[in-house]
């Protein structure tokens, strides 16, 4: 009983100290508005559909891990609760870098993207190091994340907003667990968000019509998303404008 009480007090003190040293999680909101499902009545005129599969996106992820450095980022705190994010190499250098590196596989979890149950999920395996009161802690685990789609009509960009639903750590002292969990949450949010999934040059169209001495330009008016089991179907609605010369 004495051990349980001591452990409980330690966890509570750890949670309070975590907020003091790191601040609470402040999610970085992606620009634009949330992408909704298509209208039941059907797509309006000027709409095209683009399909993406689980296998296509995961092939891209596999190529990143195989041919490039694993995605890595460093998050340092200059003042309590203030994060400054900068790039870092995947391999740890001398010293404690307060960094998180994504792994292709770890903790019996494979990093991948999945379309299922009307949701986009993306489990992320990771490892990292964190300087806690002068002690360099090495940690590993995986984050359970979901991705919301957002569209900024002015910038003509489709964004992804990564939401960390949970952090699962291996071999971390219960008292330090709150520190590391909040650190990983902040690092993923501050470094990853917002994801630029589709940029303006990929969305906009320009069709020269020489016989009419002009050009038809198309700009995206609305974006809808249909999340199926194993695939994502984007419904992109354009508005057209004819320009002479």
| Domains in the chain: ranges and CATH | 9-20+32-37+57-199 (3.15.10)
Say if residue 2's pLDDT is above 90.
no
60 forms beta bridges with none
Instruction: Categorize the per-residue pLDDT at 8 as very low, low, confident or very high, splitting at 50, 70 and 90.
Output: very low
Instruction: Categorize the per-residue pLDDT at 221 as very low, low, confident or very high, splitting at 50, 70 and 90.
Output: very high
Residue 188, burial from CB neighbour count under 10 angstroms (0-12, 13-18, 19+) = buried
pLDDT at 39: 94
Quick: pLDDT tens for 20-29.
334 444 455 6
Quick: pLDDT tens for 80-109.
344 444 333 333 334 688 889 999 999 999
The rounded distance, in Å, linking the Cα atoms of 168 and 177 is 10
Residue 30, burial from CB neighbour count under 10 angstroms (0-12, 13-18, 19+) = buried
Report the predicted TM-score, pTM, of the whole model to 2 decimal places: 0.77
DSSP secondary structure letter of residue 39: P
pLDDT at 134: 81
């Amino acid at each position: 009983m004495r051990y349980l009480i001591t452990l409980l007090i330690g966890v509570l003190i750890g949670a309070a100290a975590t907020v003091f040293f790191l601040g609470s999680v402040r999610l970085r909101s992606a620009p634009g508005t949330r992408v909704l499902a298509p209208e039941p009545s059907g797509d309006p005129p000027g709409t095209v559909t683009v399909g993406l599969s689980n296998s296509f996106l995961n092939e891209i992820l596999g190529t990143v891990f195989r041919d490039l450095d694993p995605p890595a980022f460093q998050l340092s705190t200059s003042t309590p609760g203030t994060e400054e994010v900068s790039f870092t190499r995947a391999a740890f250098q001398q010293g404690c870098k307060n960094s998180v590196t994504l792994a292709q596989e770890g903790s019996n979890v494979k990093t991948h993207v999945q379309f299922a149950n009307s949701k986009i999920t993306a489990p992320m395996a990771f490892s990292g190091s964190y300087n806690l009161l002068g002690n360099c802690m090495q940690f590993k685990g995986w984050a359970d994340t979901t991705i919301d789609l957002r569209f900024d009509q002015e910038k003509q960009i489709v964004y992804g907003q990564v939401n960390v639903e949970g952090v699962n750590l291996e071999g971390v002292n219960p008292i330090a667990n709150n520190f590391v969990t909040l650190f990983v949450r902040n690092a993923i949010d501050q470094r990853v968000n917002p994801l630029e999934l589709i940029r303006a040059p990929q969305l906009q169209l320009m069709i020269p019509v020489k016989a009419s001495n002009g050009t038809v330009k198309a700009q995206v008016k609305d974006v809808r998303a249909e999340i199926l089991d194993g695939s994502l179907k984007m419904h992109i609605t354009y508005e057209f404008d004819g320009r002479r010369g």
